[in-house]
Amino acid sequence: MCGRKQTFVFSDSLVVIFAAYILLTQTPGSQSVVLGQTVSIRCKTSTSVGAYLHWYLQKPGEAPKLLIYSSTSPSGIPDRFSGSGSNSAFTLTISGVQTEDAAVYYCQMDHISGKPSAG
pLDDT band (50, 70, 90) for residue 12: low
pLDDT band (50, 70, 90) for residue 50: confident
User: From its phi and psi, is residue 85 left (phi > 0), alpha (psi between -120 and 50) or beta?
Assistant: left
Is CATH 2.60.40.10 what the domain over 7-108 is classified as, yes or no?
Answer: yes
- DSSP structure class, residue 99: G
Residue 19 reports pLDDT greater than 70: no
Percent of the chain surpassing pLDDT 70: 74
Average pLDDT over residues 45-60: 88
**pLDDT at residue number 2:** 42
The model carries a pTM of 0.75
Strands 104-108 and 7-12 come out as parallel
119/114 Cα distance (integer angstroms): 15
**pLDDT at residue number 6:** 46
Sequence-ordered list of residues with C-beta below 8 angstroms from that of 30, at least 6 positions apart, any chain: 9, 10, 11, 12
Average pLDDT over residues 79-107: 94
**pLDDT at residue number 23:** 82
